[in-house]
Amino acid sequence: MDQATAHPDMPQVEMWTDGACKGNPGVGGWGAWMRFGEHERELFGGEPLTTNNQMELTAVIEGLKALTKPCAVTLHVDSSYVMNGMKSWIAGWKRNGWKTAAKKPVKNVELWQALDAEVSRHTVHWVWVKGHSGDPGNERADELANRGVELVRSRG
């Protein structure tokens, strides 16, 4: 059963997200591009000192946060970190009080908690795409993330 069949009453949103970092850590940007029927929306932003993983997480958080009501979201990400975190690691982290299997604090815990809260508002179908492989949505999200980097740089 596909997502649309599973949730016919919910708005169906297709979203692509990406993060970028010039230096790691360094100046970073995030981007999200979404489609809902005939409508499209672009979001981007950035931080002066961040990491690529933080920008990848922020892109998904900000994209989901922009949805004003619960949606069925097909979410395309090119980050193995985000995909593994949401599909494999997060249940154990929550069970262990946000500690890893090695009993160490989860890195970027505030972002993971924010992402967990946003995901809980929606029905999310995760799709991993290989970055820079010609997926039009991923390429658009990458462009937006790089606009986020430029936005930060232009602020000086």
Domain locations along the chain = 10-79+109-155
pLDDT by residue (tens digit) across 111-124?
999 999 999 999 99
Is residue 56 annotated as a catalytic residue, yes or no?
A: yes
pLDDT by residue (tens digit) across 49-95?
999 999 999 999 999 999 999 999 999 999 999 999 999 999 999 99
**Angle, vertex CA 60, rays to CA 125 and CA 128, nearest 5:** 45
4 pLDDT exceeds 50? no
28 pLDDT exceeds 60? yes
Catalytic-labelled residue, pool 14, 47, 62, 78? 78
Is residue 19 annotated as a catalytic residue, yes or no?
A: yes
pLDDT given for residue 115 in this prediction: 98
- Peptide bond before 48: cis, by omega within 30 degrees of 0? no
Is residue 125 annotated as a catalytic residue, yes or no?
A: no
Is residue 39 annotated as a catalytic residue, yes or no?
A: no
- Closest listed residue to residue 56, CA positions, set 84, 34, 35: 84
Tokens (6 digits) for 66: 């922009």
Is residue 2 annotated as a catalytic residue, yes or no?
A: no
| Of 147 and 6, the one with more pLDDT | 147
pLDDT given for residue 6 in this prediction: 62
1 pLDDT exceeds 60? no
Catalytic-labelled residue, pool 7, 19, 28, 62? 19
Catalytic-labelled residue, pool 7, 14, 18, 29? 18
Q: What share of the chain is helix, strand, coil (3-state, %, to 5)?
A: 40, 30, 25
pLDDT by residue (tens digit) across 121-152?
999 999 999 988 899 999 999 999 999 999 99
- Closest listed residue to residue 92, CA positions, set 102, 82, 83: 102
Assign domain 10-79+109-155 to its CATH architecture. 2-Layer Sandwich (3.30)
